[in-house]
Structures are given as C-alpha cells and as structure tokens.
Chains A and B, each alone.
Chain A
Amino acid sequence: MGRSERRFPLRLDVQRGAVDMTHGSGGRAMAQLVDELFKRHLDNDLLRQGNDQALFLPPPGRLVISTDGHVISPVFFPGGDIGCLSVHGTINDVAMAGARPLYLAAGFILEEGLPLADLARVVESMARAANAAGVPVVTGDTKVVERGKADGVFVTTTGVGVVPDGVTISGDLARPGDRILVSGSMGDHGVAVMSKRENLGFETEIESDTAALHGLVAAMVEAVPGIHCLRDPTRGGLATTLNELAQQSGVGMEIRESAIPVHPEVVAACELLGLDPLYVANEGKLVAICAPEDAEPLLRAMHSHPLGIGAAIIGEATEDPHQFVQMETGFGGQRIVDWLAGEQLPRIC
C-alpha cells in the first residue's frame, strides 16, 4: 500500500491526545478515532462490513435481547474497568435466560477531555473480554459531549443470544419448596469499587468479580435443563434480586445467613462503612432457583466450573402471601431481608 493511500496522514496520538468535540462531529477526526481505536481493537468480520449496522443470519431458536448502560465511577477499579464490565454485564443479562450470547453492540458517550490513553485502555479491555467470551462487538456508535456533561466515558452495550430448545428460565417460575443457590461470594464488586472512591478511603485486596457467566450457565443448563430462575445480583445485591424473584413468582423465601458465602474482607469493609454485604453489587455471580430434586446435581455442575467453585445452596422458596424474604441470622434469630431503601450509603449511626 502506497503512502498516498493512507486515510489519515498523522496517526492518532493515543499517548498524549484527548477526546475533543471533533471526535463526535461525524468528520474525519471521528472516522480516524473509529478506525484507529475502536475497529483496531474490536476487529471482527461483522464489524469489518463497515456499515451502520451488522448483518447476520440468526441461528434457529428463540432469540433474546438485552441492553445495559454503564456509568461506573471510577472507570478503572481493582479487577476491571468499564470496558470489560460493559461486555460482562450484557453477556450475563442475556445468559440469565439460559441463552448462548451471540453478538454485542456498543454505544459510547465520551466526555470532552477524556485522555485517549484511557479510552484505548477501556476499548482494549472490552476487546479482550469479548474475545475471551467469544461474543464479538459487531456494531457501535460514538458521541462526544462537552466537558462536565458526562463522567469520562459511559458505555451502553446491547446483546443478542439464542435460547436452546427445552429451556425456559424466567423470574416468575419459582415455586414453594424450590431451592435457592448462589454461584459464589457476595459483594466483591461493590467493595472493590467503593475502596477506590476518594472519600471512603480504605484499602483492601478484594477485586471486582466481573466475569462473563454464559459458560457457567451453559454447564448448569446442560446438567439441569429445567432450572426455574436465573438472575445476576448486580445493583442492590443478593437481597434485591431475591426480593425481585419472590415478587415475580409470588412466593416467599427462607435463607440461612451462615450458608451465604461472603469474603471476610467484604464483611470487614461493610462493618466499617455500616453497610450490609447482602445489598452490595456483584458483577460475576448468579442466583439460581430449581426444583428440590435438581439442587444437588445443579450444585455439582456449578462446582465443576471455575466460576462456580464457591457455589452454595442458601435456602428455599416458601409459600407466603406477603412474599417476604426471611433469613435465619448467623446469631440464631430471624429477620426479613428487605428491598433496599434509597441508596446504599455509608452510615455513621
């Protein structure tokens, strides 16, 4: 290729450059950003079609679609960043239908002044996560807003997937007597992120659990095709997810505090901040509900997958017109695990 054929005579200065308004204006600067940053890292056949949409033949079966906006602050946190998080988050939302995720679409809102080096780091992380998961980003969009109108970078991802025949997983299918399982320790993501918020000021080795769970889900569905419910306990934590499922299915729940896996560091950080680990976010864990006779086979399938090693049966669904999630406390008493009221804020008293 001759020199004259290069689209952009000067390469994007990723080391020292920053996003400016021209990167969102639809002109050459935007085209260069898309080429040298997004396409370069996220490269795949469908993205290379170069159109405003990706064209593909859907595989047979029922399709699911899900979308998720990511606005996390800070953008980089122990164990991940907004790039991989935006891939994992949407893959997980698709996978919670028991689906095999196929493709992702990504929309970026960039704040004027964002260092291109940070953006490159986010996009590279996204590409790594998408490659590792085998779920390519096949189309995307970029907008730039003036300084102060966003917080560095926001990413919205949309995913499509296909649900295998014979699998019907939905939040309204829990029945009294069903067993409730979690795939591992609760609250890691939220604590890792909080540890980096400037005013909370504590240090811990805990890293975000951000991970794509479709492999784990595939192993679970293969072992127990009749799983009733799957959901990833993200914002609002385990407590919120259980309350959502209880309400959707019209059941109560009875869980045991001593059975819920929580890292000691997460417990300690929550003690310091006056928070409850059951309300702290996860990004690589799931809650499963299945018939009682399926619980042990399901647990075995989870234990044999790297992302389910810490899985545990934590309780069961009950008949309860009030749809309470109740818990036997580690102390030996009984209490409700309620919906989160307001925001999970550090408490002094």
Chain B
Amino acid sequence: MCLAIPAKVVAIDAAADQATVALGGVSKQVSLALVDDVAPGDYVLVHVGYALNTICPEEAERTLAIIAEAGAALEGSV
C-alpha cells in the first residue's frame, strides 16, 4: 500500500513548514510537519502531500552496488 515517491527538495518555506519538491520536471508543495532537518537538495519520500522521510543517498548507492554485484559473478553464464 501507500504510494510514496522520492522527490528533491528545491525550496523551503520555514514559516509555513512547507517545501517545494521537484520530480522529473514536476514541482509540488508538501508539508514538512513529519520530518526534521530537511535542507534543499535532500530527497524526501512524498506521501499524500507530506514528506514522510528523508532518503539516505549513501544507502541508496550501497543498495544499487549490492544489486549490481549480485549477478556480476555470474556474468556471461545464463
């Protein structure tokens, strides 16, 4: 369940506790009421108009590296 999509924070309106987030050429206002210490440039998970969490870039890289490694040893074999 729970459609949520990562989007980049491009601007923060601290007074309104809101951020403008961008995703592939689309931008949208989201509430920051559920997260702390978000800065422009961060990626947040957007769910029903709220930033639910911050995406950790290092962990994302690590996950992709593990995936790439998973089949690498078997490269060439089918």
Contact = CB atoms under 8 A, between A and B. Distances in A.
A347 interface: yes
B23 A272 contact: yes
Contacts of A201: 28-29, 49
Contacts of A271: 5, 23-24
B21 to A, nearest CB: 9
Nearest to A264: B24
How big is the A interface, by class? Answer: 10 to 19
Main secondary structure of the interface of B (DSSP, over half): strand
A327 B17 CA distance: 43
Contact of A202 (B2, B26, B47): B26
Main secondary structure of the interface of A (DSSP, over half): mixed
B68 interface: no
Contact of B26 (A272, A347, A348): A272
Contacts of B49: 201
B48 A348 contact: yes
B52 interface: no
B27 interface: yes
B64 interface: no
A204 B26 contact: yes
A199 to B, nearest CB: 10
Nearest to A203: B27
A264 B28 CA distance: 16
Interface string A209-225: 00000000000000000
30 contacts: A201-B28, A201-B29, A202-B26, A202-B28, A203-B26, A203-B27, A203-B28, A204-B25, A204-B26, A205-B25, A263-B25, A264-B25, A265-B24, A265-B26, A268-B23, A268-B25, A271-B5, A271-B23, A271-B24, A272-B23, A272-B26, A272-B46, A347-B3, A348-B2, A348-B3, A348-B47, A348-B48, A349-B1, A349-B2, A349-B3
